[in-house]
Structure 1
């Protein structure tokens, strides 16, 4: 009688939506952590699936906007009650029943569960494998080469495309998108000004190439700050904030200015009736201003071009990235809340502490 094969089972944790959060920063009443088991026995793994150990998870402001249960204009599917939260992530394949993937492959995904382990289909993965090579750490695949870098690249290269010498203003400039957008604008030969929430972040922006920056929390008003730091007006504005900052910008735009709307983090925690209205839209008429929003999902066909260009910039030292890394999947709620407190510099990531 032969010995019975031991079945290896992994205990994993995942975050799920327990209740919608229509306003305010989500709390433990809305987001909860639960434990489940994954069997690594061959017969337990679905055909054409892989089991991945999740290494890094990207934490981005848009996640907050799809936890409200209300479709209020972002046009992204809302998380449903009891649904696992997912985000951009990187995992390592530990078991595979799909011919294109082998154990040890490192795989990024735009829909990686916020968990320690998961069984996924190849359609959820963006590439067969990634090999960072010299000068490209894994974390850059979720920042410079991930959603933050791509959002900045699309805004600067495909939507706005400011000309050399243009006066560019970027809000939330020390965040993941803003950092990359400012550096890309400088590579295009623009004069770049940023706004951020602390003096420390102002200095960092200058270090990575911004011509100047201001701390909006220390300014008399947004209008006064823009008069001081953008005396020649604004030709291109990348809006990551919305609300009162957008209204102030409309008082300083030049003729034929272009405003690209990437996000509105100042408004995500408010129900739409309480969000800040923009009172001076008439400025757009008199100055023939173009305002345009975008979704990266509509431009996925350019991701390959983006990757090649940004990898070159990284290797040449022309684009750098800053990260705030939270340890352990249990830190997701804290890391999400930090997005709305001005406490982070750069791209927010979670590094899992799973052992296998």
Structure 2
């Protein structure tokens, strides 16, 4: 990419996949649920990775980033999150039915804690039964689109020369530079990014600093189970072009709002929010997750009107597209299993409510 060293190119490829797939834990759950699984897939048997990512599963390939010391060790009975649980996390899981048409919906996290996926049973029995009953698994992007995702991120998110400082008001740039003062490698790279991609990088550091790992994103673990079954296919609910337009069509004010929200709190406060989201996800209530996220956005918004327009573009418009595609793929007596970012499910504009409006009965799974 633009004549960078192989080390820099490898990092950019990793970030490209990260940003398209799920971005950092908070914004990624509602915005980009697709390329992080590609990185995770590099270490998941049976899943085809979007990019070669040796040595990068936990963020070690990011400039200046040093992974937390906690490394999973099943032999010692501990993981990055503490003792290995004997039961998997509950996770937000729902069953939508209309006549003989069934759609299973799982809210995912795109980075995770190995403690949530016990080796002998990574998912609860109802989730495993639903996977077994479904001939098709629908993710936000198809595996084929993941293979080419990094090129589009580079094309639309990275400038040929430093551009970010010129695209930001001076106070916001000063805040970003101060945040990365101790990480000159990252600051040098972020100078070449559009504000939307810079926002995702800031969140990525905070998410990985929380001790979570890309190879334990829900999608990667889910595909590992699903693709071990015979005659199954994995599809996308949107195309790569559609997903990219959610970002590239953001105007400059909207991109600045994204970055301003990421910098409104200290890194420690953002890490605490990552842990809160993880805890809510483990409890499995999609509406509680949506309510918490709405309150967080209200607290952090620099311009509430612009913040609402960002959510509409990156979350709610995509929710409507997801539901329309689900209805296309679901068929009588052929269940469809859908796995999308947990923040897409709950709330009055979430996928579960949109399905209810279309005549589906939605129950917790």
State TM-score, norm by structure 2: 0.24
| Bigger fraction of residues in strand | 1
**Structure with the bigger percentage of helix:** 2
Greater RCO, CA 8 A, separation 6+: 2
